[in-house]
Amino acid sequence: MNYKVTVAYDGTNFHGWAKQRDYRTVQQTIEEILQKIFKQKVIIAGSGRTDAYVHANAQVFSFKIKHSTLSCKNLLSALNALAPEDITFKRVSEVDDDFHARFSAKSKTYRYVISKEKNIFKRNHELQYDNDLNIALIKKTFPFFVGEHDFKSFSTSDNEDTIRKINYIKLLKKDNEIIIEVNGSGFLRNMVRIIVASIIDVNEGKKDWNDISNLINNPKKGSAISKAKGCGLYLHEVKY
């Protein structure tokens, strides 16, 4: 049996998604819950890895077990009954045997939240930014990233294949928040955070159009340097 599960989590007290020795991670926590439910070891595959302090509105993972008498509705209830306060399971469905949360994904959407309001109760869930935001200038950076490019400059990934396609970047406004939404076929490690940091650098006059163009046309690991804080980033949606 192959299951697809959608989960939301507050990444504040997690050291990212992927299992790590001596650190609390989302994957490890979920696998421990599933082991309690099914009384056997369960390995899950996430749609992608989120870093430390990064959140998810709708992360997707899949897993297989030989047999289960639980309905999807009852499995969802059991997951939430055992979940810690910073994880909530949203949907469970049984899927075809060839479904894989990562490899079957068609696109992913990330959102980065920036606020000009200093609020200690939101400090772990947004980038609280003191400078003025030139919205028109910020929007002019978006077309540089859209399309298929080698994003090695905007990543700390060790992947040999660093070509990715960004379908769109757009800016949303909500009360005192500015949200940068990025949709693409897939993302490298820290890619969205480095892109957002580069956009902020343009806003502050630390980079210009030529710098962005050069980083894309002359790919070199980590050469964009700046990386926005993890607390403002959310894995918002995964489409299949």
Could you list the active site residues?
51
Backbone angles phi, psi at 21, to 5 degrees: -65, 135
Distance of alpha carbon 170 from alpha carbon 182, whole angstroms: 7
Q: Nearest-CA neighbor of 12 among 238, 180, 235, 232?
A: 232
Distance of alpha carbon 78 from alpha carbon 165, whole angstroms: 38
Distance of CA 207 to the CA centre of its chain: 25
Check if the beta carbon of residue 70 is closer than 8 Å to that of residue 77.
no
Distance of alpha carbon 188 from alpha carbon 171, whole angstroms: 21
Give me the helices (H) in the chain, please: 26-38, 72-82, 135-145, 191-203, 209-217
Q: Look up residue 175 and give its two tokens.
A: 């009360």
Per-residue burial over 159-169, b if 16 or more Cβ lie within 10 Å, else e, is eeebebebeeb
Q: Look up residue 155 and give its two tokens.
A: 């990543």
